[in-house]
Amino acid sequence: MSEHMKLFEVFLRSKRGLDHKHVGSLRAEDPEQALEYARDIYTRRSEGVSIWVVHSADIVASQEDDCESFYDPQDDKPYRHAMQYQLPEAVNNM
């Protein structure tokens, strides 16, 4: 049964102010059911305050082959990286 159902990716926000993070995937018949299963599978120990579920098929992913053209050109442009910036201690979660 399960293999005929749609695949969803699950994103959880662990607390207010933070980003949703990918936590895993699951199969469900529709988005509503996916949301409920996400609650049952990924938030049993109060891991989240918000859940997103997304059809896996709707995600457009970059390919391994793209690596060279996507990322390498940035390596020799250090001014783009905030390497010299000291993060104040009071700033968490960055």
Partner 1 sequence: MSKAMIKQYAVRLGDDALVQGHRLSQWCSKGPFLEEDLALTNVSLDFIGRARMFYSYAAQLEGGDVTEDWYAYQRDCRDFTNLLIHELPTGDFAFTMARQYLMDEFGLAFMQCLESSSDETLAAIAAKAVKESRYHLRRSREWMLRLGDGTEESHNRLQTAVDDLWDYTAELFELDELEQGLANDGIAVDTIALKSNWGMAVGALLGEAAIDIPQTDRAICGGRQGMHTEHLGHMLSDLQFMQRAYPGQEW
Name the site residues for partner 1 (rule: CB under 8 A). Answer: 1-2, 5, 26-29, 32-33, 36-37, 39-41, 44
Say how far apart CA 60 and CA 56 lie, in whole Å.
9
- In terms of CB distance, is 1 or 60 closer to partner 1? 1
Say how far apart CA 56 and CA 58 lie, in whole Å.
5
- In terms of CB distance, is 5 or 18 closer to partner 1? 5
**C-alpha closest to that of 10 among 40, 44, 34:** 34
- The pair phi, psi for residue 65, each rounded to 5°, is -65, -20
- In terms of CB distance, is 36 or 66 closer to partner 1? 36
In the complex, least distance from residue 38 CB atom to partner 1, rounded to whole angstroms? 9
